[in-house]
Amino acid sequence: MKQFREFEISWTGLKDGLHTFEYAIDDKKLADLGYSNDEFSQLDVKVQLELQKHHSFFELYFDYDGEMDCVCDRCGDNMQLQLWDEFKLIIKLVESTEEAKRLNEEEEDSDVVYLSKNHPSFNVFKWLYDFLILSIPIQKLHGEDENGESLCNPEVLRLLVQMEKDAAQGSKKDIWKELDKFKDKN
């Protein structure tokens, strides 16, 4: 997998205090880095990363804003989904690479990462990608118009309502009828 230098932060040269970094993530950048996702396309996300450097640790604040194309989970039509979210990560500096590895494996808090003081930089892309995936809602649905009506495909909504009516009328029980012919066969 390629590594883009733009995601590399050299912390040894940074003074204590607040530092801001901005990143743009799109389909091409993900593909170039070896990441792919079939759930979305036309990804266009801007991430502002604020890094607060302290003597022995860093506080990272990720602020996501963007959009992507995906499929509506209700009607199956394509839709554009707005993305926005915020995440916080703490990086604690430790004496050795072995200690950092051990603490990262043992740590139960996923918002804390350990880094050896021997590493003068760290790459933030993996966190950018992970937080991007976490910012995508589990259920992706068309919104509603100003009258509260769904923006989903009206034909699909009509079919869904009809299926609910059929199920309520007992047609659900009929699906097992065909299996009766197998009851007495060995």
Buried b (16+ CB within 10 A) or exposed e, 107-131: eeeeeebbbbeeeeebebbebbbeb
The reported pLDDT for the residue numbered 62 is 97
Q: Which of 82-86, 95-99, 105-109 has the lowest mean pLDDT?
A: 105-109
Indicate the helix (H) or strand (E) that contains 75: none
Alpha-carbon gap, residue 85 to 79, rounded angstroms: 19
pLDDT one-digit tens code per residue, 118-162? 889 899 999 999 999 999 999 999 988 899 888 999 999 899 888
The reported pLDDT for the residue numbered 1 is 44
Indicate the helix (H) or strand (E) that contains 27: helix 27-32
The reported pLDDT for the residue numbered 167 is 75
Q: Does residue 173 have a pLDDT over 70?
A: no
Does the predicted model carry a pTM greater than 0.85? no
pLDDT one-digit tens code per residue, 31-81? 888 888 778 899 999 999 999 999 889 999 999 999 999 999 999 999 999
Burial of 138 (0-12, 13-18, 19+ CB in 10 A): exposed
Cβ–Cβ < 8 Å for 1, 29: no
What is the amino acid identity at position 32?
A: D
pLDDT one-digit tens code per residue, 3-44? 578 899 988 888 999 999 999 999 988 888 888 877 889 999
177: left (phi over 0), alpha (psi -120 to 50) or beta: alpha
Alpha-carbon gap, residue 114 to 94, rounded angstroms: 7
The stretch 94-123 carries a mean pLDDT of: 88
Q: Measuring CA to CA, which residue among 65, 31, 79 is closest to residue 135?
A: 65
Alpha-carbon gap, residue 81 to 45, rounded angstroms: 11
The reported pLDDT for the residue numbered 48 is 98
